[in-house]
Structure 1
Amino acid sequence: MKTSTAFRLLSVSCLFLMLSLNAGAGQLTLDYTFDCPQVTTVKIGDTLYHRVILEGATNGGPVGSPALPATGAQILLPLGSEVMSVEVTGGERVLLGSDLLVEPVGLPYRLMDGPESAALPTPDESIYGSADSYPAANFEEIGAQSFRGYQILVLRLQPVDYIPATGELFYSPNLRVVVETEETDNVPALLRGFEGDASEVRGRVDNPKVVGSYEAAGTRGTRAYELMILTTDALAGSFAALKTYHDGQGLATEIHTTTDVGSNDPAAVRDYIRNAYLNDGIEYVLIGADDSIIPAQDLYVDSLAGYTESDMPGDIYFGCLDGTWNEDGDGNYGEPNDGAGGGDVDLLAEVFVGRCAAKNTTEVDRFVTKTIWYLSGSHNQPAEVLLVGEYLGFGGISDYAAATLEELEDGASTHGYTTVGIPTADFTVTEMFERDMSWSQSTLATAINNGVHILNHLGHGDNQYAMKFYNSDVLSQLDNTELLFLYSQTCLAGHHDGTDCWAETMNVKTDHGAFGLVMNARYGWGDYNTTDGPSQRFNREFWDAVFEESMPEVSKANQDSKEDNLYRINEPCMRWCTYELNLFGDPAVAIQGAEVTGMRVTPRDSFDTQGMSGGPFSPSNKVYTIENMDATAIDYTVSKTQSWVDLSSTGGLLPGGGSTTITVSINPGADSLGNGMYSDTISFTNGTNHDGDTTRTVNLQVGVATEQH
């Protein structure tokens, strides 16, 4: 997900109470700034409400509460520390208006429901009748999460508040986050110390300099291989061809069985994966059997929209390896208090997971053949994308799926956030929308049989039904030799823990259909008269990961779609979607046409800094990581244009698969600048083949910026 310039991290300071960099007790201070929100009117039923729009922040909250903007913060804790307290201060609030009636958060609906289920968003009178400010706090502490041993505090920042009784609406232009930490003897159990892990963390946290504190822990294990295929003795032989292919392409692969594990129990399987992650450095896991043979962990989840599920089959459990996911011992895995110390469960993945839901060697052979076919670049129509949208019947713009799916074409900047979508400059996108045309099963079968690379669907479904096809129709009507990748928001078609579901049929029950799918194990979710349904948020972030965040591997994109929404995990249906979205396919498969080659520079955001005339300026520097995604060395250069900017290096030779860091700093030359906004452009150039050439902007605010309202 792109970060809008309307929401910026201005400065970071780390005040440790001990001299060593990994001292546990100390303070982290981060400043965030927000542009002035816009207030518009929207009619819902017969009532005229006010809608608050803040770019870079999404509207949400509990059902019936005022829909107010919020955004996420990810703050890396120093090695050897834990959170003692969090304080967020906002300074003087700005009044945006009075006598306003802010629109309420709607109740999400199941995509399998009929039109009669759609209901107008209704205010919760216990909130709307109150004279208290809502929300009561300007932040929500989601909790301390762990990614490969790096401890990351996740917050939901809430810069806008509302007093329903008076209709007064306020916002805070700046929020200062102060995290007090205390020393702990707990060594992160999953810290490997790989440079690749550190690079990943730098790209995802708001204070990347703290990554250096983890260097003191050293390294653990080696990268013996990258992909584990975990199957049974009976099926192992059929995966040999896939192992051979991956090995030949440089992705070291090993086949392990439940005999090696000693059990097919999900907890035992997860422990085995954890050991391989720590000692052998694995990146991917392919669960090589149906749920009846290697079961997923049944997870408990409350949708916060009227439905609960106690046996959600979530393969995310095999990827997020911290804790037990059942700390309270009640057998309901995945509850929000099932993490360490009664906190949330681990939702940042150490490894990336897919499943071959096969019951026998015939189905494994089929899966392997289809996967190798795609990996070998055999698709004759790689540019063909088909968006398939049905009539939903839930009112207004969400009566049909069309407007929701259109947000996937070249991306969208709607509902407070921006995502990059499927680029129409590189792919031919065809729409099959019931809003615009009548289409039948045979219409879609003809289109698929003629050749499609990517298919994205939104419509009704069941465990053996999707896109107007029953399982039997898949077997009888599809004869496509150009296999496709399918993402669908439909209900239950990924229900792989019972009778053979629709996703399994498309993947392992036919030689045709799909080489990979991401589908829901239970219900997909939409909302009344909006394209901002819960399931759509994950769908948008999936393609953003593929085409913007350099994650063409389908397992990484699926997991990233969940992590980009982590600050919203306690909103209706967001945890539900996080648990139920499973990949049916090889986790190492990358979408052709989106592979990252050449040079990659992370993070992708600008270097924003500020201070009064004469300095100092905070933050004083920003670290960018350059990675060579090719197998052969490249010459790279880094340049700038302004004298008040320094670079730690201006270039060099980067070996294949290697990485390095560049620190961009503000030097004393900036002290003489007068009040105003100054900028520079940092150019990163791949001098060998110019694959990955890119730029980053430096924004220096001297003095106090003038607010525009």
Structure 2
Amino acid sequence: MKKLSLLLLVLMLSLFVSAQIVEQTYHFENPVVTEIQSYNQVQFENCMQTAVTGNPTLPYKSVSLLLPFGSEAESVEVILSDFEEINVKSQLYPYQASLPYSKPERKSFAKNEDVYSSKNVYPSKCHGELSTHYLNGHAFAFTSFSPVQYEPSSGKVRYAKTATVRIELASAKKDNSSMIWNTPYINSKVASLADNPEMIESYKTRGRNIAAYDMLIITGDEYVEGFAEYCEYYNSIGVRNRIATLNDIYASSEGIDNQEKIRNYIIKEYSDNGIIMVLLGGDVNIVPYRGLYCHVQSSSVYEDNGIPADLYFSALDGTWNDNGNNRWGEIGEDDLLPEIGIARMSFNNATKQANIINKTLKYQREPVLGEFRDVTLAGEWLYDNPETWGSDYMELLIGEHNDNGYTTIGIPEDYNFTRHYAEDGTWGPTQLKNTINNGTQYVHHVGHANTNTVAEWYNSDITDANFSGANGIDHNYTFFHSHGCVCGSFDDDCIMERMITIQNFAVAAIGNSRYGWFNEGQTEGPAPHLHREMTDAQYHERIPFLGMHLSESKCQTAPFVNAPGQWEEGALRWNFYDINILGDVAIRPWLDEPFDANIEYDAQLFIGCQSTEIVVKDENGNPQKGFYCSYVFDDERIGFAITDENGVAEVNFEGGLAATGDMKLYITGLNAFPVVLDVTAVPNNSAYVVYEEYTVNDANGIIEYNESSSFDVVLKNIGSVNASNVTATLTCDKTNYINITSPNYNVGNVSANSDITLEDAFAFTVCDSVPNNSNVRFFVSCTDGTDIWESKFNVNIFAPEFEIMKPNGLELNPGDSETVEFTIINKGGSSASNINFSILLPEEISMNQSQFNIPSLDAGEETDIEVTLTVSENAALGYAYEMPFTVSSGRYSVNGSYAIIVGNVTEDFESGDFSKFNWEFDGNPNWEIATGEAYEGQYCAKSGAIGDQTSTTLKITIDVKAQSEFSFYKKVSSESGYDFLKFYIDGQEKDKWSGEDNWSEESFILTEGLRTLEWTYSKDVYAEDGQDCAWVDNIKFPPTAVIVDVETVEEKDITIYPNPAKDFVKVSTSDGQHATVKIYNTLGMLVGTRLATSATNEIEINVSEYNPGIYFINISNEEYNVTKKIVVE
């Protein structure tokens, strides 16, 4: 009987739905007639110009109607009425096919003369195809129609001022209820897409409204550890996340291949937990991609069955391959409404992973202020007949525009724009690079591209050296968004992957894995459409997270993908599929200068309350829209809301607030630093005594190292009942820094909703080595003997923290003297006294004074110390003499090293071979020694006699101890412009020469560290000219060895323990040789000497009589000289 009743219910629901009709009326007025290439176009606001290629272009209105729960669209009827004539002077413009940016080939002008000579009303059917799509379980009917009717032969044009769209419904073939979430974000997304947002009410009782977590990270097992800091950061700001490894996914999910298993796992996590973002952690060799199918009829047919599209993992309805022919994403098998945001960190090793994550975190934690209203627009030449410039598309990203049938509100017009436009003569790859290095918020680019090139850069140009300014310190990392073709083809080693995986430059890149498409001579096109909508999602919708910007862009573009009529050109679908984000999905772009949000909220909530209100404003009191507000108790999210245009978020607690005690309120939004607040849930009709505020009882009101003080503490009874016989106990989490000497206090009685001040309540002492700005959490436990009330507060402890600004490196000759200046800065939060600064000198360097005493430095204060250095006449040429230095005050110190370069080292090849240095060779034949052709002397190096399409390389790796100049002489005789001598530093081409180029000097700056220098002579496939070779001579290297009296090296097997030490310290060696052990204080004074013999290999040194502080132990013999630091307590 129960089964029968259920069956009848389903049948009744089916009959009810099938009889339903959704109806929407649209109105049109104020048509605008424009001219394009001697033709006319009729335009209406929010109508897109389109047609079959060669047919008259008409304005089409996209229809996006939200359908009742449990239904889908079955048929559509469009009723046009209230017609009015439009005066046009020319024929309507024939629609021209979209072109890919990288192949704007010459094509004939398309015009269907049969249609233009017809006496029939065009179009024969005013509406396009009807389809049903689902967005987070909400059914949408998509179609389009034109209010314009055209008689081509007579030239008459009329339009309907009123159009009524009637969609007949049928019962949905699939139950999508598991996909319905009624979170504030999803409700807002659904409402913004619907022409009839009121229909959302039919879904609100059917979905869940609090997601368990926000972001799923999918990666290989070997990369999980590399995401630890990333996950911790996002959890700390309220973006709750989990990691799933591919091995676990493949083992637990069903699917015909790994891609489907990954997608099915994502669907489950979305359905069960309400995730809003997925990060794919790895290149395609780690996380495989799904290749989608698309067909475009342009000037020729374009077809691809493997478009890399991470959309497959974010649009979660259907299978994308219903007919099983492996053409994933065919029309009718697609899902154009992504439920979640998606992005891919496209790395293939741990170093690249670390680079991406470091940029992601540093960009958000430590923004470089003053650059976030500076936007860069780069537009290249695109096409010449009709003339088409990228700048026309770029300008539509600024301000409000209703061009081309849709409205977007983009970058504020009062921002600072740097425009690199081809038609203005300001375009160029070098100019764009310089702008990025000088700091810019975002780079928007339109131009031709390929896998290894974009913006006229090539893979070899994307280096840390070329983008050294965009290092996250001097200037911000930036975002790079391009319309160009294939530059985002992450299935290959594309140029956008290089942008995000080097240490500098782009924190994320948005681009196409295959062709980008445009419409010549117009300001509309597939790539510009998606770009405009993404910019609107950022600046107008104020969505915080990058991955959701692109998701919103695709949702708003989806109604335009299916073209009117029976036929789809396909270019917008292609671009819709192939645009992806390379970078982090959850990063929050700074789209204005960061600010600290002002939050109005209740710090205490009564148990059982149904809702609470949060108000978010900026520092000027302006309400802030789109801020995510979530309450978390005991690691579970219990309430969530998003602020509206008034800055108000109404958080509802389903079933009433059930938590007791402390919980967190996380607030995250566009352009604001994340906020984390403590909120206490207290019982109604009871007492509840908690911490309110504190005061430190000393002169400056802060806690500092090596001091004894006490707290005045204010307690408050936030309950509604008086508390009697209360006692309070104070503890902390950093007992190694703070010793609470008086932890208990007898409070007494505290009236309801009132506070009490406890004077000198809790005494404490602070250790003398606590790091500056250490955060200590204190816990206050109050009790009346029956109930216990816990609360907490955080306090920062301040101490000295030294920084030494050393002078630039010196290059001196034997006998030279130079005065230099060291700057000592106390960047800590507390003053320091009796500060010692000392420099340890090698025998070849002398100084007028090497030990200094500074009586005191206040917090933030600095002092300069001048010293005069003199190089001995006996100093060896070609070395960097390193001088360790230290600044110390009590237990606080900082060490560093300063180098003086004496002379240089020259490879002049006068040995007659390559034996003087450790040269390496690549190629066949190798470089050789030439006689009688040198720049100076008898010998030089000459490239081998190679054949066409080959190269030969001479290279060497050196250890540069201080930044210095490097130079060499070169000569070339080759086919000009084709066969080159190229010079590389660390694999990056620095310069190249061809033709007849006689001996000349070239110089470069080498930075500190290991550097590989290469000279490569290479030939192309064609002709040869001249002597077909290159020569190199008189290479002047910077110093590559270090001579010091005190050298710290780790590879020697020397053990010093214990460290720190109080009584004795033991020094042991394991090489079985004698060694002399000397102990120096920080002033460089020798305070002790011992001998380690081969018999013992260990000595014990009594340090009990030494004053507490820092000392240096130097262990040396004929083979090594090692210095290590110890601390005596």
Alignment TM class, shorter chain as reference:
0.7 to 0.9
Structure 2 counterpart SS, 1:69: strand
Evaluate the alpha carbon distance shift between residue 385 and residue 458 of structure 1 in structure 2; reply closer, same or farther with a 3 A threshold.
Answer: same
- If each structure's helix is expressed as a fraction of its own residues, which one has the higher value? 1
Choose 363-372 or 525-534, whichever is displaced more: 525-534
Aligned partner of residue 424 in structure 2, secondary structure: coil
Against the structure 1 CA distance between its residues 186 and 567, is the aligned structure 2 distance closer, same or farther, given a 3 Å change threshold? closer
Name stretches of at least 5 consecutive residues in structure 1 with no aligned partner: 1-16, 339-344, 600-625, 640-650, 660-690, 693-709
How far apart, CA to CA, are the structure 2 residues paired with 1:182 and 1:278?
25
Out of 525, 548, 552, the residue aligned to residue 540 of structure 2 is 548
TM-superposed deviation, 1:397: 4.8
Match of 1:587, SS state, is coil
Indicate conservation of the 8 Å contact 2:626/2:643, yes or no. Answer: no
More strand by percentage:
2
Q: Deviations over 1:524-580 (max 9, x none)?
A: 122222222321111111111111122242222212222222222134310011001
* Residue of structure 1 in register with 2:271 after alignment: 278
Separation in structure 2 between the aligned mates of residue 136 and residue 326 of structure 1, nearest angstrom: 32
Aligned residue in 1 for 2:561: 569
Aligned to 2:730: none
Partners of 2:242 and 2:544 in 1: CA distance: 22
Question: Would you say how many aligned residue pairs link Structure 1 and Structure 2?
Answer: 591
Name the CA distance, whole Å, in 2 between partners of 1:656 and 1:409: 34
Are positions 1:269 and 2:258 aligned together?
Answer: no
- Structure 1 equivalent of residue 361 of structure 2: 372
CA distance in 1, matches of 2:548, 2:653: 20
**In structure 1, distance between residues paired with 2:428 and 2:88:** 51
The one-letter code matched in structure 1 to 2:438 is: N
Alignment of 1:607-622 (within 5 A): none
Q: Which residue of 2 aligns with 1:444?
A: 432
How far residue 244 of structure 1 moved from its aligned partner, in angstroms, is: 0.5
The reply on whether 1:536 has 2:528 as its aligned counterpart is yes
Give the structure 2 partner of residue 334 of structure 1: 329
Partner of residue 81 from structure 1, selected from 51, 54, 71: 71
Provide closer, same or farther for how the CA distance between residues 186 and 636 of structure 1 changes in structure 2, counting only shifts above 3 A: closer
Choose from 583, 589, 592 the match for 1:591.
Answer: 589
Query: Residue 246 in 1 paired to residue 234 in 2?
Result: yes
Of 22, 28, 34 in structure 1, the residue corresponding to residue 22 of structure 2 is 28
1:356 and 2:315 matched: no
Question: 1:92-133: CA deviations, max 9, x gaps?
Answer: 43232477510011122221135xx24464212242233332
**Is the contact between residue 627 and residue 657 of structure 1 (CA under 8 Å) also seen in structure 2?**
no
Report what 1:579 is aligned to: 577
1:389: how far off?
1.7
Q: Which residue does 1:492 correspond to in 2?
A: 486
Deviation at 1:628?
6.3
Q: Percent identity?
A: 28
Equivalent position to 1:111, from 101, 107, 114 = 101
User: 2:48 aligns to what?
Assistant: 58
Report the equivalent of 1:207.
196
Q: CA deviation at 1:56?
A: 1.7
Question: What residue number does 1:460 align with?
Answer: 448
For residue 86 of structure 1, report the CA deviation from its aligned partner. Answer: 1.5
Aligned in 2, Cα 1:280/1:417: closer, same or farther, shift over 3 Å? Answer: closer
Query: Residues 657 and 373 (structure 1 numbering): CA distance in 2 closer, same or farther, change over 3 Å?
Result: farther
Pair 298,186 (structure 1): closer, same or farther in 2 beyond 3 Å:
closer
State the Cα distance separating 1:387 from its structure 2 match.
Answer: 1.0
| 1:375 aligned partner, one-letter code | Q
1:523 aligns with 2:515: yes
Contact 1:109–1:118 at 8 Å: present in 2 too?
no
Which residue is 1:301 aligned to? Answer: 294
Q: AA paired with 2:419?
A: E
Q: Given the alignment, which residue of 381, 384, 404 partners 1:391?
A: 381
Which residue identity lines up with residue 282 of structure 2 in the other structure? A
1:325 to 316, 320, 334: 320
Q: Are the equivalent residues in 1 in contact too, given 2:67–2:141 (CA < 8 A)? A: yes
1:497 is matched by which residue type in structure 2? D
Moved more, 352-361 or 527-536: 527-536
How far 1:653 moved relative to its partner?
Answer: 8.0
CA–CA separation in structure 1 for the residues paired with 2:123 and 2:362: 53
User: Contact conserved, 1:432 with 1:439, CA < 8 A, in 2?
Assistant: yes
Residues 439 and 93 from structure 1, CA distance in 2 versus in 1: closer, same or farther, beyond 3 angstroms?
A: closer
2:408 paired residue among 406, 414, 419: 419
- List gaps (5 residues or longer) in structure 2: 1-10, 252-256, 564-568, 600-624, 632-638, 655-670, 673-1129
- 1:129 & 1:652 partners in 2: Cα distance? 58
Greater Cα shift, 265-274 or 554-563: 554-563
1:433 is matched with 421
State whether residues 105 and 121 of structure 1, in contact with CA within 8 Å, keep that contact through their aligned partners in structure 2.
no
1:174-199 superposed Cα distances (whole Å, 9 cap, x missing partner) = 11111222345742154334243334
Shift in alpha-carbon separation, 1:176–1:377, aligned structure 2, 3 A: farther
Contact 2:33 2:88 in 1 (8 A): no
* Residue 309 of structure 2 corresponds to residue 314 of structure 1: yes
Deviations 1:322-345 (A, max 9, x none): 00000111000000032xxxxxx1
Name the CA distance, whole Å, in 2 between partners of 1:212 and 1:285.
Answer: 28
Residue of structure 2 equivalent to 1:504: 497
| Counterpart residue number, 2:7 | none
For residue 295 of structure 1, give the secondary structure of its aligned residue in structure 2. coil
Q: Residue 431 of structure 1: SS of its match in structure 2? A: strand
Scaled by the length of structure 1, the TM-score of the pair is: 0.77
Which whole-Å deviations, capped at 9, do the CAs of 1:443-489 have from their partners, x for residues lacking one? 32222112222001111111011112111111252222121011111
Cα contact 2:100–2:516 (8 A) shared by 1 = yes
**Number of the residue aligned with 1:69:** 59
Change (3 A) 1:205 1:415: closer
1:421 Cα deviation from its structure 2 partner:
2.0
1:175 aligned residue: 163
Letter in 1 for 2:486: L
Q: Name the amino acid aligned to 2:200.
A: V
CA shift digits 1:633-672 (9 cap, x unpaired): 9999999xxxxxxxxxxx998546999xxxxxxxxxxxxx
Match of 1:558 in 2: 550
Q: Aligned to 1:455, what secondary structure does the other structure show? A: strand
SS at match of 1:545: helix
Name the CA shift for 1:636/1:598 in 2 (closer, same or farther; >3 Å): farther
The 8 Å contact of residues 309 and 577 in structure 2, kept in 1 or not, is answered as: yes
Once the two structures are superposed, residues 401-454 of structure 1 have per-residue CA deviations (whole angstroms, 9 ceiling, x without a partner) of 2222122232434334332221132x3211111211255433322221122220
- Distance 1:527-1:213 versus aligned 2 partners, 3 A rule: closer
Please identify, of 571-580 and 546-555, the stretch whose mean Cα deviation from structure 2 is larger: 546-555
Q: Counterpart of 2:304 in 1: which secondary structure?
A: strand
Give the aligned CA root-mean-square deviation in angstroms. 3.2
Q: Which has the higher contact order (CA 8 A, sep 6+)?
A: 1
Where 1:91 maps in the other structure, the secondary structure is: strand
The higher radius of gyration belongs to 2
CA contact (8 A) 2:76 2:130 kept: no
- Preserved contact between residue 378 and residue 427 of structure 2 (Cα < 8 Å): no
Letter matched to residue 75 of structure 1: L
8 A Cα contact 1:77 1:151, kept in partner: yes
Distance of aligned partners of 1:112 and 1:194 in 2 relative to their CA distance in 1, 3 Å threshold = same
SS in 2 for 1:494: coil
CA distance in 2, matches of 1:99, 1:653: 53
Work out whether residues 517 and 584 of structure 1, in 8 Å CA contact, stay in contact via their aligned partners in 2. Answer: yes
